[in-house]
Every structure is written in structure tokens, then in C-alpha cells.
Structure 1
């Protein structure tokens, strides 16, 4: 596996519910090139000092502050950890715990200190990580490839994955008589291919359980249609690499998969825009943060797009959802849009962290509502 830790939605939900006397969120741009990671460690150290300064300014408990800084320093000093990085690092720490995620996304370096974690940038990795799995499937071989943006793809070893179609049926060839006595021609071969595909799908369940990354199929002919019919993974993309995968390296497969991922993402965003426009006429869509905050508080958001690159400091009332904006982003304030996203997720909303140009109105957020504002 590549050195990428994409949190599941359940992990994200756990982080979003966390509350403490101080919650520190640090995002740092990193590099998978070990020889160049020193600059990222230096930046992480600088952000640590900013955390310390913010907490000292508000008179945070010295003993708790020392415990927090010790855990961050331990991470900074872990040479083995820093050897294996991706494109960004997200660290979430309190005086009692610390979690780190290595991400394929290019995220802006920042630090946020509050009574809850700042998770909006992490949403990009959860909702559209520019990552995918590729299943290269032919009668002669199976490869399961993991790919991430700007990182070299790698073959993932899958327990119980069949080697090829013939050996999966315990045969040296597909051209023999089936158990039912059907002739050994195309009809019998089709039975063997179905057996093969079912075994591939069963093996993949072990590594894909709980995952939400897209799966791109590289296969041709009957195998492609059989796998599409059989696959139990709900995130298999409709478009495929319609060439024999045996002729391509992992890097070539990844290059062929990227336009498919871009198309799927663009289609998803276009569908949300169309839904937003339709619901706007019924007063069931908004780009206003105050309206969105109230709707999120009462479980009224169906779909939410948020800008991952900016932070609007303030507070959202726990009972009414009323928003109070502040000018200074200190150790007490938190990201308003971040809090709206967390509340929307808690009520089962679909939430996507995107770039501003992908948001209707190109503002901080756009929400499709379950009922009129």
C-alpha cells in the first residue's frame, strides 16, 4: 500500500464529534520524496510554535499545554514517520490524544486551535481524494492497483485473489466440459469466467470493505460485462479502461484512469448544480451561511458543497444555529463553515469539500435543503 491514510466517514464523524479544552488541527504540505521532507518538518515546527503562542495568549493551563506540545514534539522528532509521506499531512491533537493522516491531496498549510477540530480541508480527501483503485482483469492475470494524485501507483496484494481464470476453476484450460455436461465451447467457457469473476469480487471485499474510493475496471469483452454485473462494491465507475490491461504498466493504467475519474467528478458536480438550480425555485437551496447554519442545526441539509481553502471564524449556537462572526481567529473561535459541515454530516447529509469555482455562486458554500428555508 502507498503511504496514504484516508480517513473513513466513520473516522471523520468521530473527529467531528470530538470536543476538548483545546483541539489543535495542523495541515502541512509534504512530499513523498524523503530527501526533501526536511522543509515540511521545519514548517510543522513553526506551526507548533503558533499553537503554543495562541494558547499562551488565552491563558491555557500550563500542564495541559506541556502535554499537548510534548505529543506534537514526539511526532516532529519521529524520523521514521517523516520518511514516509504523501502530499499533505493532517494532524489532530488534544492534550490527551493525537491522530495523523497522510493525504494525496495538495492542501494549504495552516493551524487552527479551538474546542473542536478544523476538518474542512480533510473533507476533500474524504469526498474526492483524487485516488482510486484499478482492477486490471483478464483471463491471464489479475492486478489490483492503488493510485493517488502525483504519487506512483502500486500493486496491492489481495489475499485469496485468483491468479488467472483457468487456475481459479482448478483447470489448466477453460476449454473442458462443465459439471452439468454442457459442451466445452463458448457456453462452458462462460461458466468458468463467471466463476472467476465471482472469486475476484469475493477477494476484493476483504480490502474494499468500508472504503469509498472509486474503482476503475480495466477489462475487455465478456469479462468486462460479467464483472460489472457481479461486482458488489458500490463505487465501481461506469466508464472503464476498454483495453486489454496485460499490455500496460501500473503507471500507464493510472494515466488511463485519470480522465475517467475527472469525468466522474465533473458529472457529480454537474448533477449537484442541476439539483441546486431546481431546488432554488422552491426555496430549498441557499448560499447564505446563516441560513445554512440554521438548516444544518435542525437536520435540514440534503447536500452541501463547501470551499476547502478558506476559513470564516466565528461561532454557531448549539440550539438555534445562529451564527456569530468574529474578526480575530483565536484559540476560542472556530470555522463556521467547518461546523456547518459537521452538523450536516451528523444528520446524514451528503457533504463535499470542493474548490470555490465548483460551488454555485462561487461563495463559501451552497446547500440543497430538505425543506424550504
Structure 2
């Protein structure tokens, strides 16, 4: 059994490529308190029983059903696992693979059984991860914090991190004249602050180089400007938590950072809608689901926006992309939007999972295309 918190794009693409009879995908809301975890555990037990019955109805081999059931029961019995939960839990079982994700987004409950995994809800965590790093930078201190939606902020120990400006430049104090007498006053202080920032960047690089999370700076001027101008920070958010971070607790910085993330994501959604509306008007974006399915089948989708909550029962032809809509979901079937998503991921399209009111065109999906099909 493999437990993970936030899925990577590679995780989602890997699930999208899997095709095998008896794939079980379970989503359920959880919580961080023991009563919430107990309710979620009971709900998972009920979903697992329902999945076993559906697998039997689909005539999946008995040994595979038993393997799915055994893996599910291992999760149910893992008390340490249930002690640490987030807002939602995703469980994937097929008799060979067993994997969970503790997700920061509030998702609706679902139990899907088909010849492929139901992956659409995972995309919400990739679109809006709700986690970030905070660099709280002051002349006399520096902290690196990691925040997630439901847990207290965590301080990250960074080896070699200077304690303050003086520590970074090897002086007892940065006030007044340096030993050689050449740097003094406000200009000299700014030079030392730049050296301080450069020392911080050197030790931060190994920590942040593989991070996919936004970096939020909490600092007052001139340190904020010096840090932003000292190097390239691909994931550094434009908005700064202003003021001296020494006046704020870790919890206060985390609360301020979550507000920064909310505004960042709202801005991204607005920009995405504007870009799509322009492409729809120009004829290079599609809003009709049948057109989108065909484009996804032939690898023409450049980017895809999907309604995270809407289900469209039916199937998509493997060769032509023609949709056969269904009246209702039945065991063994999969959603049309999820299959479009799967094919778009297979051609390396960017995918955004949004709420209904944010999807351009107001439908279940919208797609920008590389070429007409």
C-alpha cells in the first residue's frame, strides 16, 4: 500500500493510461478530527462492500476481487493512517495497484468501477493545491514555513540558513563602520542585506528546486525588493505579505498566506476565462462536448477546462471520438468528461479542474485546440 498526499501530474497521467477490468476509484470527504476520521472510515468500508458487489456483477475474476478487498481492508485497519487526514481521501484499487491520496480539496463522495480509474477529481488538487511555502524574511531572523489547508504551519529546518544579516556577513553587528572602514551608513547596510539574501538563496535552492508549490514572501522594504531583485524565483508569488514578519506568529503568517493564495487563484481563473473567451470568438476553442471528444481523440487538445462536479454518463468511441450518451451511470461505465480528460492528458494537454460557474461557455468542458479536426 502506498500513501501519498498531493498527486503529481505524473501520477495522474499514469492513472489515465491504465486500462484493466475491475478498477475501483473511491472518493470521500474526511477531516482532521477523530470523529470525522471515524465517519470517513465507515464510509470507506461501505464503499468497499459496494465495490465488491459491483465487481462480482461485472464477472471480474474472483482472485482479483479478493485482492481488491484485501487491499481495502488493509487501509481500514491502519489506525496510524486514519490519525492524519486532510479534507478528502482518494483510494485506487485494482488487485495489483493500491494507492491513496489525502487531498486538500473538499470533494463529493463517489465509488466508480470500470475498466479505467476515475481521475477527474484528482485534477482539482493539481489546479489549486492550497499549499505553499512562506519565506519570512527580516534583518534579525528568517523562517521557512510550509502550509497546507488543515494543518498548523510547519517550520522547515534549512541547513546552513543564516540567523540574521550579521551572521551572513560574518560580523558581530552590521551597525556602523566595517573593520576596513570602506562600507558604512545606509548604503553599506543595503550591501550587507544583499549578501544576506544571497546567502539565504544558496541554502534555499536545494530545498526549493524540486518544489511545485508557490513561494510567498513575507518581508518589509527594503529587504523585500532586495530579495526579489537578487535572483530568479520561478514560483515566487507577486504579492508580498507586507510588514515585519517578526511581528507575526507562524499561524498569522499562514492565515495571511491563504488569503494570498485565494487572490492568486481567483486571478488565474479570471485570466483563463478571458483567454478562452477570446479563443472561442476566434474559433480556436470548443465548447460543444461532441467536438471536444473528437479533438481529444485525435490529439488536438492544447488545454482543457472541466467542470469538477458534473458527470455526463456515456462512452466515447476509441477510433472516432463519437459520444454515445447514457441515461444513467451503471457499474462498468465511465463518464464522458473523464474519458475526454484521459485522452487530453495522453497528448500532454494542460488541464484545469474548475467549478461550474468558472467553466468558459457554461458547459461540462471547454477546450483550446492546436488545429481544427
Same fold (TM over 0.5): yes
Q: Find the counterpart in structure 2 of residue 16 from structure 1.
A: 16
What CA distance in whole angstroms lies between the structure 1 residues aligned with 2:45 and 2:270? 41
Q: Find the counterpart in structure 1 of residue 135 from structure 2.
A: 135
Asked if the contact 1:313/1:325 (under 8 Å) is kept, the reply is: yes
Q: Find the counterpart in structure 1 of residue 235 from structure 2.
A: 235
Asked if the contact 2:48/2:72 (under 8 Å) is kept, the reply is: yes
What CA distance in whole angstroms lies between the structure 2 residues aligned with 1:108 and 1:27? 7
Size of the aligned set, in residue pairs, is 371
Q: 1:278-306: per-residue Cα shift (whole Å, max 9, x none)?
A: 11122111222221122222232222211
Distance 1:205 1:320, change over 3 A: farther
Q: What displacement does 1:176 show?
A: 7.1
1:31-42 aligned at under 5 Å gives the runs 31-42=31-42
Q: Find the counterpart in structure 2 of residue 291 from structure 1.
A: 291
What CA distance in whole angstroms lies between the structure 1 residues aligned with 2:364 and 2:154? 36
What CA distance in whole angstroms lies between the structure 2 residues aligned with 1:335 and 1:23? 14
Distance 1:35 1:284, change over 3 A: same
Q: What displacement does 1:212 show?
A: 2.4
Q: What displacement does 1:181 show?
A: 7.5
Q: Find the counterpart in structure 2 of residue 198 from structure 1.
A: 198
Asked if the contact 1:104/1:151 (under 8 Å) is kept, the reply is: no
Distance 1:81 1:260, change over 3 A: same
Q: Find the counterpart in structure 1 of residue 345 from structure 2.
A: 345
1:322-361 aligned at under 5 Å gives the runs 322-361=322-361
Asked if the contact 1:205/1:233 (under 8 Å) is kept, the reply is: no
SS in 1 for 2:117: coil
What CA distance in whole angstroms lies between the structure 1 residues aligned with 2:284 and 2:297? 16
SS in 1 for 2:211: coil
How high is the TM-score relative to the length of structure 2? Answer: 0.92
Q: Find the counterpart in structure 2 of residue 263 from structure 1.
A: 263
Q: Find the counterpart in structure 2 of residue 145 from structure 1.
A: 145
Q: Find the counterpart in structure 2 of residue 85 from structure 1.
A: 85
What CA distance in whole angstroms lies between the structure 2 residues aligned with 1:293 and 1:179? 71
Q: What displacement does 1:324 show?
A: 2.3
2:171 aligned with 1:174, yes or no? no
Distance 1:255 1:341, change over 3 A: same
Q: Find the counterpart in structure 1 of residue 70 from structure 2.
A: 70
Q: Find the counterpart in structure 2 of residue 278 from structure 1.
A: 278
Distance 1:241 1:64, change over 3 A: same
What CA distance in whole angstroms lies between the structure 2 residues aligned with 1:228 and 1:116? 45
Q: 1:52-97: per-residue Cα shift (whole Å, max 9, x none)?
A: 1111111110011101110111111111111111111111122012
What CA distance in whole angstroms lies between the structure 1 residues aligned with 2:356 and 2:180? 59
Q: What displacement does 1:231 show?
A: 4.9
What CA distance in whole angstroms lies between the structure 2 residues aligned with 1:116 and 1:208? 34
Asked if the contact 1:289/1:365 (under 8 Å) is kept, the reply is: yes
Q: What displacement does 1:356 show?
A: 0.6
What CA distance in whole angstroms lies between the structure 1 residues aligned with 2:89 and 2:140? 39
Q: What are structure 2's unaligned runs of at least 5 residues?
A: none
Distance 1:312 1:141, change over 3 A: same
What CA distance in whole angstroms lies between the structure 2 residues aligned with 1:209 and 1:22? 39
SS in 1 for 2:171: coil
How high is the TM-score relative to the length of structure 1? Answer: 0.92
Asked if the contact 2:32/2:150 (under 8 Å) is kept, the reply is: no
What CA distance in whole angstroms lies between the structure 1 residues aligned with 2:17 and 2:179? 55
CA RMSD of aligned residues (A): 2.3
Distance 1:139 1:271, change over 3 A: same
Q: What displacement does 1:346 show?
A: 3.1
Asked if the contact 2:133/2:215 (under 8 Å) is kept, the reply is: yes
Q: What are structure 1's unaligned runs of at least 5 residues?
A: none
